[in-house]
Chain A
Amino acid sequence: MSHLMEIRDLKITFGGLDALSGLNFHVDEGEIVSVIGPNGAGKTTFFNAITGLVDPTEGNILFDGESILGLDPHQVTGLGIARTFQNVRLFPNMTVLENIMVAQHCRTSQLVFGALLQTAAFKKEEQEIEERAKEVLAFFGSRLVGYRYDQPAFVLSYANRRRLEIARAMATQPRLMLLDEPVAGMNPMETAELTALIGRLRSEWGFTIVMIEHDMRVVRDVSDRVVVLDHGVPIAQGSYDEVSTNPDVVEAYLGRPAEDGT
């Protein structure tokens, strides 16, 4: 009963369309769970519900035993849930470093007067924010450090934007991290690299991870458990091998090849 996050009978309706219906889901501390399913299955909606961006029609979401239903997105982030977006959404005109610094907002507290009076507490906090930002960026090797710090985010290559988005989620100091298609648009080399990093996010940083992913090699390589959604309904769950041989899953994908894809 001590799941990190538990979702009960989640139902989300968009004007008659059931994006999710009757979803039960849980993730335990330290797990990496993958959510897969064809396009339009409701995976992103599932993340949006957890992070408070859409309100569920029915059901409950518990984080650390407490309901987080009806909380504002920033409150959810404050509790320790961070996410990335499927269609990368950085702050494009802020620098790489600023993107990470601003993500520590809910872990820091200085407001107007500290900044105006340049108090010791303010300076200390600023310094810590910057150090932490650099520490997070260093996780991605040499790709986002040095001269990159002061470049606006929009100049980054697609893969680097994805990395920066993960870095930004890390900077909110979450317990649970929700990754929405983290390797979409990356080449095989970059994909392999990021797959390894996702493993290290758990082992080194201690994050629990729920990941939406289409790339089955990534899913196979990192996940402890796989949940398959189709038309808003969970049709299978279990280990990668169990799921990949499940006839329902095969049908869900192969039955409608036209809907397959990112």
Chain B
Amino acid sequence: MSATMTSSTASSSGSPKRAPVADQDWRKIGKWGGLCTLALVLVSLIGMPVGLDRRILIHPILSLGYLSLLWIPLMLGFVVSKQVKLEGVESPDPGGRDLLAGALTGLMGGVGMAVFMLALNTFNLRDPLVNWSPKLLELLNYGRGLGFGVVAWLLACCVLGLLGSAIHVVPADVRRVVSFSAFGLLGIAVLEGAIADLSEGFGLEFLTDSIYAKRGGVTVVWSIVLAVVIGVVSVLTKGRLKAAKANYSGLQGPERKRASRIIFVVTALLTIILPLFLGTIMNELLANVGLFLLLALGLNIVVGLAGILDLGYVAFFAVGGYTTAVLTSPDSPFFAPEMHFAVTLVIVVVFAGIVGLVIGAPVIRMRGDYLAIVTLGFGEIIRLLFMSDWLKPYFGGAQGITNVPGVDLGFITIKGTDPRSVFYLVLVFCALAIYISWRLQASRLGRAWMAIREDEKVAEAMGINTVNTKLLAFVVGAVLASFSGAILVAKVGSVFPNSFMILVSIIILVVVIVGGMGNIAGVLVGSFVLIGILGGPRQPGLLHEFQSFKLLIYGALLVFMMLQRPEGLVPSSRRSQELHQEEFLQDVWLKSEEHEAEEREAEVHAVEVGGAEGNNGGGA
């Protein structure tokens, strides 16, 4: 205690108090250091470093494989030195003590890695652990022998832990510049495919050719240049974005409307024009993102607005796909009218609606968990039906239906070999889905869905026919999903039961949750980030090397989001209010200071009486 006193008095009177360096919470460091070791070894053993080593981020020093390990000490160094601020307790300013904690945490991870590498070198546990290989060892020691590897890991982890904790210590401005540079550079490296493709479309290959090395990855020189440029830009634009945002939300009435319209037109033009400059692979990727966005928008109505946790959503995707295949393909085994896609769509809507009603009617009366489990079952039943021998004469069993024609528009045929055309088709339907979600949200029906989500029993007592209203949400969701199925089949040219695994339902749900449930913009961002970068259940994303680790990452991301940001990346204002009621209440209270004092008085009084409820028991 006295040490604290002296150190605080010793440092010049105005400067804030710092804790002495040796005043460490050793248990905490032990815990996070151990965790650091565990995470490093685990990630190594599931094969991430080796599997992802081919994807170079910064040529030739950093691959995605190394990054999959290196972020761990950095992150844990950050976490361990994060201070818990307690109300009423004066917490010391971040300083040397925190740096030491971060470095020690990282060092523990480094020691763990060193021991792990020694073990790799000495024992052969390849039998239970498939990734226990000399290749892993070679990768870990950078191909320069065990001794180098051990020292390198000890040093690297220690430094990274230190850097992680330094995030708290450095001034906010520095933190901002560094994080902008780091994440910006990472983004440029990750989006290499998209950027290269786009610049090629604009005839700027020379630029990307120099930025990116031949084998992929940003070159070292350019990494430095780009980091500096981004850093400078971040300094120059400091506060601008926030100001613009505040400015926008400060606008009122017609001005606001005009600003929104301009933003809308610009975004729309960009979405229409950009694909013209993109190559096949990027358009394919965009088309996939669109297909899943369409699904996610539908599910957002069902889960986000009406609060029905439908885990069998893939069933409607399948119904749309199969209906289209049967009606358009000449190879449909039983009934092959070979209709045009446009005609098919009408029938798809009707069918999806009917299936929605048939599945929905029995399950819609259930609540919460029960409904989730039963719909999960229905989703799987639909797939098994299409797969079954019983329906094989109609739907082709596991072989499915092939030879589905594209969409013939007269002047052009939209099909998978021309992903750009598919993208435009998907775009039309996504626009439609966004319009539908947006309009319904602000209507009598949307309000009824919200009320049901809030409190079903009360909604019923307030005159809402909850069964019919929920069924309607189910059906609207079903129709949007069936559109996506129809386009998917026309794009791929065939349909198989195994395209409609439960996994699809779950991935769409993750997209909606991570993006921001109940918010159209959130669903958009979620689709781009998850499907675009990580990839869909079968569709590769920008980081297609992640293919075999995709589910792991989806899972980890979901857990992380639930813990840190349950309202999603772009939350709806309503959901963030709901999840942060306390803070919101404080805000409101502070704002109400501006309102009449009289009213405030009445309220404070009411709260007091409400708190001491029970003092008004009557008696005759």
Q: Give the interface of A toward B (CB within 8 A).
A: 36, 51, 53, 72-74, 77-78, 82-83, 85, 89-94, 98, 101-103, 105-108, 110-112, 114-116, 118, 122, 125-126, 129, 142-143, 147, 151-152, 154-155, 157-160, 168, 172, 183-187, 189-191, 213-216, 219, 243-244, 249-250, 253-254, 260-262
Contact = CB atoms under 8 A, between A and B. Distances in A.
Nearest to B617: A261
Given A147-B595, A155-B585, A187 B605 contact: yes
A91 B451 contact: yes
A157 B606 contact: yes
Interface stretch (B14-22, B169-177, B410-418, B441-449): B441-449
B444 A158 contact: no
Given A129-B444, A185-B613, A262-B614, A74 B463 contact: yes
Contacts of A168: 462
A116 B580 CA distance: 33
Interface of B: 435-436, 439-440, 442-448, 450-451, 454-455, 457-466, 472, 476, 574-575, 577-578, 581, 584-585, 588, 595, 599, 602-603, 605-610, 613-614, 616-620
Contact of B461 (A51, A183, A185): A51
A51 B462 CA distance: 10
Nearest to B595: A147
A72 B609 contact: no
Contacts of A102: 447-448, 450-451, 459, 462, 464
B479 to A, nearest CB: 10
Contact of A160 (B448, B603, B616): B603
Contacts of A157: 602-603, 606-607, 610
Contacts of B445: 110-112, 115
A53 B459 CA distance: 12
Contacts of A213: 618
A216 B609 CA distance: 18
A47 to B, nearest CB: 10
Given A94-B454, A187-B605, A101 B585 contact: no
B472 A111 contact: yes
B454 A91 contact: yes
A262 B613 contact: yes
B472 A112 contact: yes
A7 to B, nearest CB: 18
Contacts of B608: 187
B325 to A, nearest CB: 28
Contact of B614 (A85, A126, A183, A261): A261
Contact of B444 (A82, A92, A110): A110
A184 B444 contact: no
Contact of B617 (A51, A91, A262): A262
B568 to A, nearest CB: 15
Contacts of A53: 457, 461
Contacts of A250: 620
A184 B619 contact: no
A92 B454 contact: yes
Contact of A186 (B455, B466, B609): B609
A236 B474 CA distance: 50
Contact of B450 (A82, A91, A126, A190): A91
Interface centre among B435, B447, B463, B603 (most CB of A within 10 A): B463
A73 B588 contact: no
A98 B609 contact: no
Contact of A184 (B448, B574, B578, B616): B616
Contacts of B577: 93, 152, 154
Contact of A243 (B588, B610, B620): B620
A103 B444 CA distance: 10
Contacts of A115: 439-440, 442-446
Contacts of B616: 183-186, 191, 214-215, 262
Contact of B609 (A78, A118, A172, A185): A185
Nearest to B612: A185
B578 A93 contact: yes
A114 B616 CA distance: 49
Contact of B465 (A72, A92, A253): A72
A184 B613 contact: yes
Nearest to A183: B616
Given A101-B447, A215-B616, A261-B614, A72 B460 contact: yes
Nearest to A101: B447
A103 B464 CA distance: 8
A155 B578 CA distance: 11
Contacts of B581: 154
Interface centre among B460, B605, B606, B607 (most CB of A within 10 A): B606
Interface centre among A53, A103, A183, A190 (most CB of B within 10 A): A103
A73 B444 contact: no
Contact of A254 (B605, B617, B619): B619
B606 A186 contact: yes
A89 B455 contact: yes
Given A101-B447, A214-B616, A160 B606 contact: yes
A114 B599 CA distance: 40
Contacts of B466: 74
11 contacts: A77-B463, A94-B450, A102-B462, A102-B464, A103-B463, A110-B443, A155-B584, A155-B588, A190-B606, A214-B617, A216-B619
A8 B596 CA distance: 51
A74 B465 contact: yes
Nearest to B458: A89
Given A214-B616, A244-B620, A262-B616, A105 B454 contact: no
B617 A260 contact: yes
Contact of A260 (B463, B585, B602, B619): B619
A150 to B, nearest CB: 10
B477 to A, nearest CB: 12
Contacts of B599: 142-143
A78 B606 contact: no
